[in-house]
Every structure is written in C-alpha cells, then in structure tokens.
Amino acid sequence: TTLVAVCSLLASAGWNTRGVSEHYFSEAPSGDFTPREIEVERRLMDGLRSIDGIRLLGDASTGSRTADVQRIAIASFDVEGVHAHDAGQFLDARGIAIRVGHHCAQPLHRRFGLSATVRASASVFTSDADIDILLDAVSGIRTYFGADR
C-alpha cells in the first residue's frame, strides 16, 4: 500500500514510523477500503473528470462499466495537447509530486495512442486541500502551454 511505501521511505531516512503504520492498520479492516480512502478517490477522480482536456485512463465510470467500483486513489491521465513530461514539470514547479511515463504499461499507452501519461496518487493522508491544489494546477496546464486555443 501507499502507507507501507511512505513508511519504508521515511524509515530509510531514520524516522520511526512504527506507530503510524500500526495505528492505521489497527483501524482499517483487512482488505476493505476505509471511508476516507473512498472519499479521496472520488474527490480526485470527479475533480479530474470535470477539467476540460483531461482524459482519464482506466476510468470505470465511463463506457459500459457504470457500476460503483472501489479503487485506490491513483489516476493516470492525458492532458490534451501537452506532453506528459511538460505537464509533470509544470506541476513540479508548483510543488506537486506526480509521476509521468508509461507506468509499466507501454502496450496500453500505444493502444490509446499516447507516448506517456501523468499519474497522481493520493491516500488517507491526502487532505481535501491537497486535492484542490492538484486540481487547480491541472486545470491551468493547457492554458500555460497554449493548448486550449
């Protein structure tokens, strides 16, 4: 999980994260999503869906799959008219950490005619303000690069 990765990273830097992970895992039922995880995922995905020129990959709410699907809060998306690496640099300059590239799915990217995508990840520790900052920045990418004309 994201928490395990974060705790591992912090532990490698000498931080004691045992209490954080023990508290989280003692509160979360095994195999189930917490209400906060569901809320964060929906806020992230709904926000990205509302931005013109953003195409989400793996969006279960579009097409023939309309069932309420539980998923973790990771969104891979394309910004119309802007290369993913440029979008990533734009977000990085605003202090927003995302990933860009194939994300170990190059055949899928080729299938959709994409050279790379942007991937944003969130967790139970992501605040509503964090998501709002991301969404605000993403909504400005196409304008910055002149792709909204």
The catalytic site residues sit at 104
DSSP H helical ranges for 18-144:
18-27, 35-49, 84-92, 106-111, 128-144
- In 3-state terms, what secondary structure has residue 114? coil
Task: Report helix angle 128-144 to 35-49, nearest 10.
Answer: 20
Q: Amino acid identity of 8?
A: S
Task: Report the C-alpha dihedral over residues 87, 90, 93, 97, rounded to 10 degrees.
Answer: -30
The CA distance from 131 to 46, in Å, is: 11
CB burial of residue 82 (10 Å; 0-12, 13-18, 19+): buried
